[in-house]
Amino acid sequence: MTGTRERYERYVAERHRPAHGRRTAGRWAAFLLPHLRPEMRLLDLGCGPGSITVGLGTRAIGADLHPVRIDGVPVVGADARALPFPAGVFDAIFANALLQHVADALAVLREARRVARPGAVIGVGDVDWDGHLLHPRHPLLERGRQIREAVRERADVRVGRRLRGLLAAAGFEGVEVGVTGEAAGTSRAVAAMADFEREWFEAPEVIAHVTVLGISGAEEMAAIAAAWRRWSADPAACAATLWFTALAWAPPDRPPHEGGHPPLPQRLSATGGIDDVECPLDQGP
Ligand SMILES: C[S@@+](CC[C@H](N)C(=O)[O-])C[C@H]1O[C@@H](n2cnc3c(N)ncnc32)[C@H](O)[C@@H]1O
């Protein structure tokens, strides 16, 4: 990893953490909540700061490539494509805003299928950048979108529309896809959104990274930041974002278990930087 890439990734993680930390289960997991019960073992893949995880009302465990401590929820440092869990141990799986960050979304869902017990429910939420509507449009803002997409490299920012096919390909069934949406349609929301976008194009960490990647340069980035300022000042400015949700189930390929859950290791040590957190999955809710 180059120095510019590290600095860029640290900048992005710090910039997004406060917004992710304000997410709630009521807003982001509403489609999954009716299918959850308190006794369920739930795995939250790519749990981030865990503000959704804590509201799922289950025996949740978080897994994240860059784990942070979540009060009341064990967190394991793990790549979602290679989880440190035996097969068939989770009653429910949740993954919000994870697949847009991984190069191989199907590998993540296949791994989710492996650790899902027969009949387990999975809920996935993710974005589709073609569902980002901006008015008025401007070539510089369109170019900014291209740059932001190019920086994601092999991750698919249109994964939302693929969720139905991906879940089926991973071995889940009964897939139900839905969408939710958000609008920036007040002066305050338009300004907040434009500021958030503009800051990315002005950040030295981003400018250095896109320059090293050969995607853009300081002059173009400054022009795009200025276009966001103009957009924000336009009294007609308005934006909307579509968010895909998908529910599916692991096939009930054997009768529902009667004698409790398949055995899990007594304690799973977390890795990836949280050495003192353990995951007491089998020690009751
Ligand atoms: C956009 S955040 C979403 C966090 C949380 N689910 C939410 O909705 O607020 C994406 C999270 O996925 C994690 N992540 C990215 N790639 C991953 C991978 N291959 N395995 C596990 N976690 C990953 C990141 O560290 C980050 O915490």
Residue 200 vs residues 157, 221, 228, 239, 253: alpha-carbon distances, Å: 17, 9, 11, 18, 48
pTM: 0.88
Residue 235 has pLDDT above 50, yes or no: yes
Residue 61 vs residues 35, 50, 180, 202, 271: alpha-carbon distances, Å: 17, 10, 26, 37, 13
50 closest CA partner among 79, 21, 76, 28: 21
Residue 283 has pLDDT above 90, yes or no: no
Residue 280 has pLDDT above 70, yes or no: no
Instruction: State the Cα–Cα distance between residues 20 and 30, nearest whole angstrom.
Output: 16
62 closest CA partner among 95, 30, 33, 97: 95
Kindly state if the Cβ of 25 falls inside 6 Å of ligand 1: no
Ligand 1 atom 8 nearest Cα: 96
Kindly state if the Cβ of 43 falls inside 6 Å of ligand 1: no
For residue 262, the model assigns a pLDDT of 52
Task: For 76-127, write each residue's pLDDT tens digit.
Answer: 999 999 999 999 999 999 999 999 999 999 999 999 999 999 999 999 999 9
Kindly state if the Cβ of 156 falls inside 6 Å of ligand 1: no
Task: For 202-231, write each residue's pLDDT tens digit.
Answer: 999 999 999 999 999 999 999 999 999 999
C-alpha of residue 224 to centroid of ligand 1, in Å: 27
Residue 256 has pLDDT above 50, yes or no: no
**Which domains does the chain carry?**
3-279 (3.40.50.150)
Kindly state if the Cβ of 65 falls inside 6 Å of ligand 1: yes
